[in-house]
Structure 1
Amino acid sequence: MLFTALSVFIALPQQAPAVMSAEMSNFDMGGVMNAVLSVNWFEIIVYFLLFFVGGYILYASIFAMFASAVDSEEDTSQFMMPVTIIIMFAFFAGFYSVSNPDGPLAFWGSLIPFTSPIVMMVRLPFGIPLWEKLLSLVLLYGTFILISFFAAKIYRVGILMYGKKPSIKEMMKWIKYK
């Protein structure tokens, strides 16, 4: 409808109001209002805050883990691609979840901590069981704690390895150091 409005206004500015009123007469505003008002907005806002904070601190700890292992900005590019791919996958899984909120991709995407902040927010208005919401939050915050622990271990070793470019394999060894 937005494209129609723009194209009509650009092509025929004097006839734009007549065409738009004809377009709006076919639009079911009552159905849209019923759908919007039937959503539990308080629950969505609370879960939005929980998932936003959880996702933010999860990805912040991942970026801190990689940043603690490198000396300069140029060295971070090898570590940013996997994180970017995960975020892009979560974004597209969220798009798919709108059309199929109870499908397997939406279900597993809402439980995997790296994708749950995006996918779960797409699924919430469709009414999902409480156990899925709570399990998703527990996994998200538990993964944050685990990655923060790994980041601390990598930082402890990585700060002493000045001048050497680490690989992911080498960072795994650093996690195992006592």
Structure 2
Amino acid sequence: DMASGDMSAVMSAIAGLNLPVLGLVFVLNFIGGYLLYASIFAAVGASVNQSEDSQQFMTPIVIVLVFALYAAIYSADNPDGPLAVWCSFIPFTSPIVSMVRLPLGAPVWHTVLSLVVLYASALALIWMAGKIYRVGILMYGKKPSIGEMIKWMRYK
């Protein structure tokens, strides 16, 4: 019977996975990705007064997230290809792509480096979002630009 053969192949593939490691790396990627994107959204939220003004900042973030999703889909077919490897190191795409590569045999050092870069980037972006928040919350009524937000980060 073809269906039972397919089902046994799926069950043997699942049995071959190291679920505790996958679970741990998933939680670490989830928390790191959450911190990274939450800091970006916090910076955008602190710099605008109305939700309509935030659209100019949201579009690039959404484009990066959609790209990460497509890179992960491509990585499932070619987990050792250059797109998969590089996107697992770029912090904006790594939480998604490295989780696709992990069960497909990515080297351990790729996963560790991906997490280190993700957390370092998240901490840097949290720091920058704090600088933007400190000034942006006081700039009521002024529509910010990217250049203006960079100036806010330089204020002492």
Flag the structure with larger Rg: 1
Q: Specify the alignment match of 1:3 in structure 2.
A: none
Match of 1:142 among 97, 120, 125: 120
Question: How do 1:157-176 residues align onto structure 2 when only pairs under 5 Å count?
Answer: 157-176=135-154
Aligned residue pair count: 156
Match of 2:18 among 33, 40, 52: 40
Structure 1: 5+ residue stretches without partners:
1-21
User: Cα deviations across residues 18-44 of structure 1 (Å, max 9, x unaligned)?
Assistant: xxxx7636x433322222211111110
Q: Specify the alignment match of 1:24 in structure 2.
A: 3
Amino acid in the other structure paired with 1:114: F
Greater RCO (CA < 8 Å, at least 6 residues apart): 2
Where does structure 1 differ by over 6 angstroms across 4 or more consecutive aligned residues?
A: none
Structure 2: 5+ residue stretches without partners:
none
For the aligned residue pairs, the C-alpha RMSD in angstroms reads 1.4
Q: Specify the alignment match of 1:64 in structure 2.
A: 42
Whole-angstrom distance in 2 between the partners of 1:28 and 1:144: 41
Whole-angstrom distance in 1 between the partners of 2:128 and 2:37: 13
Whole-angstrom distance in 1 between the partners of 2:50 and 2:6: 56
Q: Specify the alignment match of 1:16 in structure 2.
A: none
Q: TM-score, normalised by structure 2?
A: 0.95
Percent identity of equivalent pairs: 56
Determine if contact 2:35/2:126 at 8 Å carries over to the other structure: no
Determine if contact 2:131/2:152 at 8 Å carries over to the other structure: yes
Q: TM-score, normalised by structure 1?
A: 0.83
Amino acid in the other structure paired with 2:125: I
